[in-house]
C-alpha cells in the first residue's frame, strides 16, 4: 500500500471515529450540566469557525473576497443559518432529547434523502440497487423508532421530530453549498458558515451570557466542552485532508464507522441500552448508506474491462 493512501485511510478513520465520539461526549455534557443546546452551539460554532478562519488567514488564503460579491455572500449566509446552524441545532437537540447514537444515525441518513431528491429533480427512478437501499433505510428507521413494534415506540415525539430535522438539515447542508465550495473552497465556506451561524445564534439567543456560562461549567465540564470543540474541528479537517489521498466514495464508505463508534462508546461509557430491533435498524441504515455511496456498476464494469485489456 502506498504511503499516501495509508495516510488517507488513517485520516478518514480517525476523523470518523472522532465525530462518532463527539456525540456521546455531548450527551455526557448535557447530563452533567445545565447547559442548553443554544448556549453550547454559540460557543462551539464561534470557536470552531474562528479557528478555521484564523488558520486559513495565517496560511495566506483569501478569506474575504467572497464578501465583495453580493450574490455569493447571500448564499453563504443562507447556508450558515439554514445549513450549518440549522443542521447543528437539530443534531444537538436530537442528542439532548434522545441519545447520541440515534442522532448520529438520523444524521447518517442524509444520502438517502439526497438520492430521493436527485431522482425527483431528474424525474427518473433510481436504479434498483439504490431503490433497495432506500427501502432498507426506511426499514431501519422503523426499527430504530419502534424496536420492532408500532405499539412500543421507543423514541419520544421530540426525539422523532429533531431526528427528522437532523436528517433534513444535513441534506441541505450537503446540497446547498456545492457551487460555493467549488468556487471558494471547502474550508473557507465551512469556516465562515460556522462563524456566521454562531454570531446569528448569539444575537437571537437572549438567554446566552458568558457570566452564566462560567457559573454553569466546572473545570471538568469546561474541559469536556473544549475537548468536544477540538475533536469536532479535528474531525472535519481530517475528513477534508483525506480527500487528497482517497476518493469521495471511499471516504463516504469509511465514514460509516461513525454510528458504530457512537454506539460502542454509548454502551460502554454511558451505559446506554438498545433493543435488538433498534440495533438491527442501525445496521440497516449503515448498510443502506454504504450501498448508496458505492460507485455505479457501469463504472466498475468499465474499469474491469480496461484492467482485462491490460493483462
What does the H/E/C string look like for 19-84? Answer: HHHHHHHHHHHHHHCCCCHHHHHHHHHHHHHHHHHHHHHHCCCCCCHHHHCHHHHHHHHHHHHHHH
Per-residue model confidence (pLDDT) at position 1: 59
Task: Label residues 231-258 b or e (16+ Cβ within 10 Å = b).
Answer: bbbebbbbbbebeebbeeebbbbbbbbb
The pLDDT confidence band at residue 292, using thresholds 50, 70 and 90, is confident
The pLDDT confidence band at residue 311, using thresholds 50, 70 and 90, is very low
Is residue 123 over pLDDT 70?
yes
In-domain check, residue 239? yes
In-domain check, residue 307? no
**Is the Cβ–Cβ distance between 115 and 138 less than 8 Å?**
no
279 or 206, higher pLDDT: 279
Range of the domain at 84: 3-294
Task: Work out the average pLDDT over 271-298.
Answer: 84
Residue 136 corresponds to which cell in the numbers above? 432498507
In-domain check, residue 304? no
Task: Work out the average pLDDT over 242-270.
Answer: 86
Is residue 300 over pLDDT 50?
no
Is residue 52 over pLDDT 50?
yes
Least confident stretch, 4-8, 18-22, 196-200, 264-268: 4-8
Is residue 302 over pLDDT 60?
no
In-domain check, residue 303? no
Q: How many domains does the chain have?
A: 1
Helix orientation angle between 186-204 and 37-58, rounded to the nearest 10 degrees: 140
Q: CB under 8 Å to 268, separation ≥6 — which residues?
A: none
Is residue 299 over pLDDT 50?
no
Q: Which of 89-93, 169-173, 286-290 is modeled with the greatest confidence? A: 89-93
2 or 120, higher pLDDT: 120
- Picking from 237, 232, 236, 282, the residue whose alpha carbon sits closest to that of residue 257 is 282
Task: Work out the average pLDDT over 80-98.
Answer: 94
In-domain check, residue 73? yes
Residue whose cell numbers read 444575537: 203
55 or 152, higher pLDDT: 55
Is residue 46 over pLDDT 70?
yes
Contacts 24+ apart (CB under 8 A), 178-184: 179/75, 180/66, 180/72, 180/75, 180/76, 180/79, 183/72, 184/65, 184/66, 184/72
Is residue 104 over pLDDT 70?
yes
253 or 117, higher pLDDT: 117
In-domain check, residue 48? yes
How far apart CA 221 and CA 32 sit, in angstroms, is 7
How far apart CA 192 and CA 72 sit, in angstroms, is 12
Helix orientation angle between 186-204 and 219-242, rounded to the nearest 10 degrees: 150
Least confident stretch, 81-90, 179-188, 228-237, 293-302: 293-302
Per-residue model confidence (pLDDT) at position 57: 96
Q: Whole-model pTM?
A: 0.87
Is residue 156 over pLDDT 60?
yes
Amino acid at each position: 500500500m502506498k504511503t499516501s493512501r495509508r495516510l488517507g485511510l488513517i485520516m478518514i478513520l480517525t476523523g470518523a471515529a472522532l465525530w462518532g465520539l463527539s456525540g456521546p461526549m455531548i450527551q455526557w455534557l448535557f447530563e452533567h450540566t445545565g447547559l442548553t443546546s443554544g448556549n453550547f452551539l454559540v460557543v462551539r460554532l464561534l470557536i470552531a469557525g474562528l479557528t478555521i478562519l484564523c488558520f486559513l488567514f495565517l496560511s495566506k488564503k483569501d478569506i474575504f473576497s467572497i464578501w465583495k460579491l453580493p450574490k455569493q455572500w447571500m448564499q453563504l449566509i443562507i447556508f450558515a443559518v439554514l445549513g450549518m446552524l440549522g443542521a447543528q441545532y437539530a443534531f444537538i437537540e436530537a442528542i439532548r432529547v434522545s441519545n447520541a447514537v440515534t442522532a448520529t444515525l438520523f444524521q447518517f441518513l442524509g444520502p438517502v434523502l439526497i438520492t430521493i431528491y436527485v431522482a425527483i429533480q431528474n424525474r427518473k427512478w433510481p436504479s434498483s440497487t439504490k431503490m433497495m437501499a432506500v427501502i432498507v433505510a426506511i426499514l431501519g428507521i422503523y426499527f430504530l423508532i419502534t424496536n420492532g413494534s408500532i405499539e412500543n415506540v421507543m423514541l419520544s415525539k421530540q426525539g422523532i421530530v429533531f431526528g427528522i430535522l437532523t436528517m433534513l438539515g444535513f441534506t441541505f447542508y450537503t446540497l446547498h453549498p456545492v457551487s460555493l465550495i467549488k468556487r471558494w473552497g471547502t474550508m473557507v465556506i465551512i469556516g465562515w458558515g460556522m462563524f456566521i451561524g454562531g454570531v446569528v445564534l448569539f444575537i437571537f439567543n437572549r438567554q446566552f451570557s458568558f457570566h452564566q456560562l462560567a457559573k454553569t461549567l466546572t473545570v471538568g465540564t469546561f474541559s469536556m466542552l473544549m475537548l468536544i470543540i477540538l475533536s469536532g474541528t479535528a474531525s472535519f479537517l481530517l475528513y477534508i485532508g483525506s480527500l487528497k489521498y482517497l476518493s469521495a466514495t471511499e471516504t463516504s464508505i469509511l465514514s460509516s464507522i461513525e454510528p458504530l463508534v457512537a454506539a460502542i462508546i454509548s454502551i460502554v461509557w454511558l451505559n446506554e441500552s438498545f433493543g435488538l430491533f433498534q440495533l438491527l435498524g442501525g445496521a440497516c441504515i449503515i448498510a443502506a448508506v454504504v450501498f448508496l455511496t458505492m460507485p455505479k456498476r457501469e463504472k466498475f464494469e468499465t474499469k474491469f474491462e480496461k484492467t482485462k485489456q491490460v493483462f
